[in-house]
């Protein structure tokens, strides 16, 4: 992998160690007076803006993208994900990644991040390992009007349900606050597009790690964000740009 930005004297094209990747994607230190929560998104897109092919993101990803995906998970306290992505991608519990044990222990984190599923209907299969046998208990973020029987089923399976909205749905900023109140500040969202668009619209997405896959998909795939557009497009600053095998790994953050 090569670093294209920031420009350095380093020009070699070589496999990066996990420690180098972890350093390249380290979460910023919280600023005094802030809740400390930092919400990072990680998504992959084709050149023509497709966020999936035949309902999955795997066909537009590659091995390096998955390595960065794993690194970002290994740095996170919690992985926040929309219920449709859980259903379509068959989410499993996050695993403890080899090579990150010391880093996580030093940061006061359990061996693996919790997965936090955002859902209004809670139409989820609570018999799945995601709920019954995670290393770190799975969280469910939902609204106060969520079906009581589905909340009971989630809790019976071992999930912790957090109410982060007064109605049927979750209010994105409240979800971030609810996680921060539990001490989860290194937040990673893996979308999907409908959820990510709400984080953007609410102004709570701090950073976007975007893999640009050198592929064209055409068709009617979603792009990486959905939902209503924002009044004024939000400008982010380029933090870093890596390249391998024609795939670009961009990191943009709030300036
Ligand atoms: N390219 C990428 O990097 C990437 C990343 C992730 C996913 N994807 C792809 O994106 C597709 C799925 O994404 P999607 O946009 O359709 O769905 P999504 O955002 O993953 O999930 C949507 C679901 O999340 C729940 N939800 C969203 N906002 C909510 C709110 N404010 N309050 C309560 N619940 C809320 C609802 O669940 P309930 O219906 O349970 O109420 C809703 O149906 C898949 O094809 C996947 O492969 C691509």
pLDDT of residue 6: 85
pLDDT tens digit sequence for 200-221: 999 999 999 999 999 999 999 9
Residue closest by Cα to atom 34 of ligand 1: 119
Ligand 1 pocket: which of 165, 168, 175, 192 to mutate (most atoms within 8 A of CB):
192
Q: How far apart (Å, rounded) are the C-alpha atoms in residues 102 and 121?
A: 38
Domains belonging to the chain, first-starting first, are 52-253 (3.40.430.10)
Question: pLDDT tens across 105-155, in order?
Answer: 999 999 999 999 999 999 999 999 999 999 999 999 999 999 999 999 999
Predicted confidence band of residue 11 (pLDDT cuts 50, 70, 90)? low
Q: What is the mean pLDDT of residues 163-186?
A: 97
- Tell me which residues have their CB closer than 6 angstroms to ligand 1: 43-44, 51-52, 55-57, 82-85, 88-89, 118-121, 123, 169-170, 190-195, 198, 222, 224, 226
Residue pair 94/132 in contact (Cβ under 8 Å)? The answer is no
Ligand 1, atom 14, residue with closest C-alpha: 192
Quote the tokens at residue 108: 């006061």
Question: Rounded distance, CA 9 to CA 3, Å?
Answer: 10
pLDDT band at 32 (very low <50, low <70, confident <90, very high): low
> CA–CA separation, 134 vs 111, rounded Å?
11
């Amino acid at each position: 992998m090569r670093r294209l930005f920031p420009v350095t004297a380093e020009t070699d094209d070589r496999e990066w160690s996990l420690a180098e990747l972890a350093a390249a994607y380290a979460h910023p230190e919280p600023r005094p007076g802030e809740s400390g929560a930092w919400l990072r998104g990680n998504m992959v897109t084709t050149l023509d803006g497709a966020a999936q092919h035949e309902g999955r993101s795997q066909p537009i990803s590659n091995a390096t993208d998955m390595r960065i995906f794993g690194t970002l998970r290994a740095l996170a306290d919690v992985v926040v994900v929309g219920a449709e992505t859980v259903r379509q991608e068959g989410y499993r519990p996050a695993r403890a990644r080899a090579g990150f044990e010391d880093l996580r222990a030093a940061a006061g984190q359990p061996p693996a991040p919790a997965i936090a599923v955002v859902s209004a209907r809670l139409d989820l299969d609570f018999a799945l390992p995601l709920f019954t046998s995670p290393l770190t208990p799975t969280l469910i973020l939902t609204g106060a009007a969520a079906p009581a029987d589905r909340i009971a089923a989630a809790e019976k399976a071992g999930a912790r349900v957090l109410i982060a909205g007064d109605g049927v749905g979750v209010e994105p900023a409240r979800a971030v606050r609810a996680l921060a109140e539990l001490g989860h500040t290194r937040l990673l969202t893996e979308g999907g597009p409908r959820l990510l668009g709400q984080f953007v619209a609410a102004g709570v997405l701090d950073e976007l790690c975007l893999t640009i896959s050198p592929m064209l998909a055409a068709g009617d795939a979603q792009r990486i964000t959905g939902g209503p557009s924002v009044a004024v497009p939000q400008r982010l600053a380029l933090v870093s740009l890596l390249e391998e095998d024609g795939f670009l790994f961009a990191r943009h953050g709030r300036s």
